[in-house]
Amino acid sequence: MDVNVLNAIYTIVKNPINELKSYYQNRNRANSMGGALEEYIKDVFANTLTETDELKRLEIFQEKFSYLGNQNNPPDTIIRGGDAIEVKKIETKTASLALNSSYPKAKLFSSSNMITEECRKCEDWQEKDILYAIGVIPKENGKEGKHLSILPFVYGVDYAASADVYERIKNVISEGINSISDVEFSQTNELGRVNKVDPLGITYLRIRGMWGIENPLKTFNYVIQEIANSNFKFIAIINAEKYDSFNEEDRNRLENLTKTEQNLKITDVKIKTPDNPAKLKNAKFITFYR
């Protein structure tokens, strides 16, 4: 069975877990809800949700993933020979995603200066599709919540513009900053860095971009018109070309599950193309409520 988003969705439907924090704390795998969400996403893709032997679980991860990342550089996970996955946590269904210094990605490229060297050499690759997995985890009594209420999946190519759109804005700002006279700048991957700000020449100023993007529940509100009142809601939007690229066995396996799981639905929709919203493309809209 391939490691891909369709089989991950199948696992989510067959083993829905929304009280993530206690689930992963009991297994000594995560203390925070953000950490629990990341572990959950790895487990649904690796099909290790019920694996209690931690060493065996890690061995399966080694087999199925070529890279498990860190919080400072995208992505969080790379499926061996497959997609990259970026996991984000938000507290409300209207909140934006904070991407910090990394702009949203339609694709992940090995040439990007925002990824680590370990990520670059984890396997022989040039570009990968990137899947955004966004967990909506509402606060409870003013504290970090324990329950995953909504989980949208969306591919970057259906969500973000091409890299040159963001690079153009970044370069214009960076060039403007670096053109300021009587200020000493140094080379940086950020928007700019000013050296020797003070008379002693020991203070510097980092100028960083803080990127953000509306979450998919708002971006695709013309498709996601209503969210059912339930404990857990899963939503995925996958363009038809990507959906059809998965092997027929995996597609049939998920589609056949709709016959026995009445709360799982797969429908055909049209979505806007991020680089040109006037152009629509075919997509699958997958929902599951529990």
Say yes or no to pLDDT of 178 above 90. no
Name the phi and psi angles at 272, rounded to 5: -75, 145
Q: What is residue 13's predicted lDDT score, i.e. its pLDDT?
A: 96
* Contacts of residue 195, Cβ cutoff 8 Å, sequence gap at least 6: 184, 185, 186, 201, 204
90, part of any domain: yes
Interval 168-176 mean pLDDT:
84
Share of the chain above pLDDT 70, in %: 97
Rounded CA-CA distance 166/211 in Å is 10
Share of the chain above pLDDT 90, in %: 65
Say yes or no to pLDDT of 282 above 80. yes
Alpha carbon 243 to chain centroid, angstroms: 17
176, part of any domain: no
Interval 254-261 mean pLDDT:
97
171, part of any domain: no
179, part of any domain: no
Interval 87-114 mean pLDDT:
92
Q: What is residue 29's predicted lDDT score, i.e. its pLDDT?
A: 67
Contact of 84 with 68, CB cutoff 8 Å? no
Please, which pLDDT band fits residue 227 given cuts at 50, 70 and 90?
A: low
Neighbours of 174 (CB within 10 A): 18
Q: What is residue 239's predicted lDDT score, i.e. its pLDDT?
A: 98
Say yes or no to pLDDT of 201 above 70. yes
**Cis preceding linkage at 74, omega within 30:** no
194, part of any domain: no
The residue among 73 and 261 whose pLDDT is bigger is 261
Rounded CA-CA distance 185/193 in Å is 6
Structural domain range at position 45: 5-162+210-289
pLDDT 10s digits, 15-40:
888 788 778 876 666 668 888 899 99
Rounded CA-CA distance 286/121 in Å is 34
For the ranges 6-10, 103-107, 117-121, 194-198, the lowest mean pLDDT is seen at 194-198
Instruction: Specify the DSSP class assigned to residue 91.
Output: S
Instruction: Specify the DSSP class assigned to residue 284.
Output: E
> Taken in order 85, 90, 95, 96, is the CA torsion positive or negative?
negative
Nearest alpha carbon to residue 290 among 231, 236, 240, 242: 231
For the ranges 51-55, 131-135, 282-286, the lowest mean pLDDT is seen at 51-55
The residue among 180 and 162 whose pLDDT is bigger is 162
Q: What is residue 228's predicted lDDT score, i.e. its pLDDT?
A: 65
202, part of any domain: no
Interval 217-227 mean pLDDT:
88
Nearest alpha carbon to residue 75 among 126, 109, 40: 109
Instruction: Specify the DSSP class assigned to residue 140.
Output: B
The residue among 101 and 56 whose pLDDT is bigger is 56
Rounded CA-CA distance 169/211 in Å is 11
87, part of any domain: yes
In terms of phi and psi (left: phi > 0; alpha: psi -120 to 50; beta: otherwise), the region of 196 is left
Q: What is residue 28's predicted lDDT score, i.e. its pLDDT?
A: 63
Please, which pLDDT band fits residue 198 given cuts at 50, 70 and 90?
A: confident
197, part of any domain: no
Average pLDDT of the chain, as a whole number: 91
Q: Read off the amino acid at residue 240.
A: A
Q: What is the helix (H) or strand (E) element at residue 170, kind and residue range?
A: helix 163-178
Say yes or no to pLDDT of 200 above 90. no
pTM (2 decimals)? 0.91
Q: What is the helix (H) or strand (E) element at residue 179, kind and residue range?
A: none
**Domain tally for the chain?**
1
**185-193, Cβ contacts within 8 angstroms, sequence gap of 24 or more:** 189/113, 189/114, 190/101
Nearest alpha carbon to residue 288 among 252, 235, 245, 242: 235
